[in-house]
Amino acid sequence: MDAISVIRTKRDRGELTPEQIDWVIDAYTRGEVAHEQMSSLAMAIFLNGMNRQEIARWTAAMIASGERMDFSSLARPTADKHSTGGVGDKITLPLAPLVAACGAAVPQLSGRGLGHTGGTLDKLESIPGWRAHLTNAEMLDVLRTVGSVICAAGDGLAPADKKLYALRDVTGTVESIPLIASSIMSKKIAEGTGSLVLDVKVGSGAFMKHLDDARELASTMVGLGTDHGVKTVALLTDMSTPLGLTAGNALEVRESVEVLAGGGPSDVVDLTLALAREMLDAAGLKDADPAKALADGSAMDHWRRMITAQGGDPDAALPVAREQHTVTASASGVLTSLDAYAVGLAAWRLGAGRARKEDPVQAGAGIELHAKPGDQVTAGQPLLTLHTDTPEKFDYALAALDGGVEIGPSDTPFEARPVVLERIG
């Protein structure tokens, strides 16, 4: 077996054999296949695709490259959620303790932001003392005592995917549906959860811009989970407009706590409850009522215990950026569009995100939204507040927002898109 023959097979639109897939994943993980060779194969897959059998074997090979976690000793059924990423997507923060309050164990392995999409770990690290990195034993202990944990994946979990993801990010092959699906599902299956709910974002602020592409990705991942014995369902959700009223690390933590306290923006609450119900149903807890757990304070209690168990102080003041700049409405009328990608890019430029994995982020940087599409606005009214510690970045962020905000006449008809567009699985 050699890398060139594997590359040629896919370059010429052939089907990779199970033996070719097993060998190339193992050899790349060990360093026998060079980065430039795997880059060439990734591009061939990007251009020519994979069938279901190839994707399933590719996923299995990445799982086999590392360890598999085992939560069978827990007294609770396990359920996890994965989002494909968006702007203002803080749903994991209230969702994990909410589902734990309803009786499931939530082993939530999360990542960091890259580019215009935010990262759950970056958000939580704005809480003083909170730790993202736990050993497997620590993770299991928090699950046993609290019911939910949000942490970084260990180095032993699907190491082939870790190498390949970094390569895809710098070779223009991130958007490949076979590679996205196998990347996500190899980690989630190796994680050892009994059930999985996928939040596949659709719209300008998501990787999948079109509904058909999102549907294909969701169907592929549901099939992979099912083939590996993990009960998997997917919701296609709207990402044409940012979720909630904040985009930025500490800003989103603050909004998540508002949701756990029984308030918060309606779209964040609605999506949190929709995903919670799917997770509880998949875990066999059909009678649990997540809305009640939000209302009676039990979800907030689990949040506080989860943050404390990972070294954080749930009562500590969150970081606040040193400088603010307000964007006002240019005219009176109805706000017809607030583009998610434009807001995410502006927040990234303010310091809320990173261009490379090793870049630092500003905990207090980001954007507050004072209106959402469909709202009537008045000329001069605040629409957005930009937050940063580096005010020289304001002009750069404002350039990203150019064309991302549209206001029509007051009688412009407006029909809001539902947060949940479809269910698959």
User: CB neighbours of 30 closer than 8 A, spacing ≥ 6?
Assistant: none
Q: What is the pLDDT of residue 174?
A: 82
Q: How many residues are present in the chain?
A: 425
| Whole-angstrom distance, CA of residue 403 vs CA of residue 32 | 48
The strand order across the sheet containing 80-83 reads 80-83, 195-202, 231-238, 420-424
Q: What is the pLDDT of residues 256-276, one digit of tens each?
A: 999 999 999 999 999 999 999
* Domains of the chain as residue ranges with CATH: 3-49 (1.20.970.10), 80-156+164-309 (3.40.1030.10), 323-408 (3.90.1170.30)
* Tens digits of residue pLDDT in 74-124: 999 999 999 999 999 999 999 999 999 999 999 999 988 877 888 999 999
161 among known catalytic residues: yes
Residues 6+ away with beta carbon under 8 Å from 135: 154
**122-140 burial: b if 16+ Cβ within 10 Å, else e:** bbbbbbeebebebeeeebb
Rounded-to-10 torsion of CA 345, 124, 273, 175: 40
- 262: alpha, beta or left? (left if phi > 0; alpha if psi -120 to 50): left
- Mapped onto helix, strand or coil, the DSSP state of residue 234 is strand
Is 82 one of the annotated active-site residues of the chain? yes
| pLDDT at residue 212, as a whole number | 96
- What is the separation of C-alpha 394 from the centre of its chain, rounded to a whole number of angstroms? 26
Residues 6+ apart with CB under 8 A from 153: 109, 111, 187, 191
277 half-sphere exposure, CB direction, 13 A CA radius? 11
pLDDT at 279 > cutoff 80: yes
CA angle 197, 243, 161 (to 5 degrees): 45
Q: Are 425 and 220 in contact (CB under 8 A)?
A: no
Catalytic-labelled residue, pool 81, 187, 201, 393: 187
Query: Average model confidence (pLDDT) for the chain?
Result: 95
Helix (H) or strand (E) holding 141: helix 136-145
C-alpha 64/C-alpha 23 separation (Å) is: 11
CA–CA separation, 40 and 24 (whole Å): 12
Token output for 234: 């997917």
The kind and range of the H/E element at 377 are strand 376-377
Q: Are 21 and 160 in contact (CB under 8 A)?
A: no
* Confidence category of residue 242, pLDDT binned at 50, 70, 90: very high
DSSP single-letter state for residue 114: B
Catalytic one among 80, 89, 161, 199?
Answer: 161
Render pLDDT for 324-343 as a digit per residue (tens, 0 to 9): 999 999 999 999 999 999 99
Is the separation of the CB atoms in 123 and 252 below 8 Å?
yes
CA dist 369 and 245 (Å) reads 5
DSSP 175: T
Specify whether 187 is catalytic: yes
Closest CA to 149 of 303, 313, 318, 257: 303
Alpha-carbon distance of 225 to 238, in angstroms, equals 23
Q: Is 76 a catalytic residue?
A: no
Other CB atoms within a 10 A radius of the CB of residue 144 amount to 15
Separation CA 222–CA 217 (nearest Å): 9
- Predicted confidence at residue 334, as pLDDT, reads 98
Q: What is the pTM of this model?
A: 0.94
48-62, 83-97, 156-170, 394-408: least confidently modelled range: 156-170
Q: What is the DSSP letter of 153?
A: P
Which listed residue (10, 82, 116, 231) is catalytic? 82
Task: Provide the pLDDT for residue 207.
Answer: 87
Backbone angles phi, psi at 301, to 5 degrees: -60, -45
Selecting among 57, 116, 168, 305, the annotated active-site residue is 168
Tokens of 306: 């989860």
Instruction: Give the torsion sign (CA, 121, 127, 128, 134).
Output: negative
Mean pLDDT of 236-243: 97
Per-position DSSP letters for 79-113, written without gaps between them? -EEEE---SS--THHHHHHHHHHTT-BEEEEE---
Which residue type, as a one-letter code, is found at position 25? I
Measured at the alpha carbon of residue 194, what is the angle toward residues 219 and 148, in degrees to the nearest 5? 110
pLDDT digits (tens, 9 = 90+) for 384-410: 999 999 999 999 999 999 999 999 999
First to last CA, the chain: 37
- Give the number of other Cβ atoms within 10 Å of residue 170's Cβ: 11
